[in-house]
Structure 1
Amino acid sequence: MRTPFRLNKTIGEAYDMDLADALTAKQALADLGHLEVPDGGFDEYPDRPLIEAVKSFQRAEGLAEDGVMKPDGPTLARLNDVLKTSPTLAAPVSGR
């Protein structure tokens, strides 16, 4: 089980994303099988694979598939619900 998390800013292509949010979201989405961990581990920079992973999660959960995750939105709420009941997996982070 993973601890739910909060976002400081919205994650999405048209948004100025928070670097810590991007890293936390990448790790959570990888833990749930929606994002492949790169050879060197994750970095904190928002990228296309992050947005595609958000869309993959949204599709799997029957949410609007827009690639956007807002601090108080349905995608983050559902992600946290799923994380609460899933086993903890450690996704590598770049530099660790």
Structure 2
Amino acid sequence: MTDNEYRKTRKAAVDALIYWAKTGMRQFSMRDAVNNHLEASGANRPSIGGTEAILARRKIAANRLAIDCLYALSKDELSKVDRELEDIVENVPKYGCVMKR
């Protein structure tokens, strides 16, 4: 992934977070945008540290998104974003899970 593509995923996640915090609409698309950014940032890559390392990297990337939202949000909206980002960080998506009959 190029640096320009990474910036686009971060901007899309920040824009989605701001829109959701201000209107309360499009929560699922906001969660998808944040998860796409976390994946693009490499926060979900397995490493020696196991799940603790993945959670720590996801938390760092989510905090960066919250910092990028500071300019546009009020105190209440920012706390709403922080709570939602904590929930997203703790729910690591499981890739490769296939439902079978």
Question: Which structure's CA Rg is the greater one?
Answer: 2
TM-score by length of 2: 0.32
TM-score, normalising length: structure 1: 0.33
| Structure with the higher fraction of residues in helix conformation | 2
Question: Greater RCO between the two (CA within 8 Å, min separation 6)?
Answer: 1
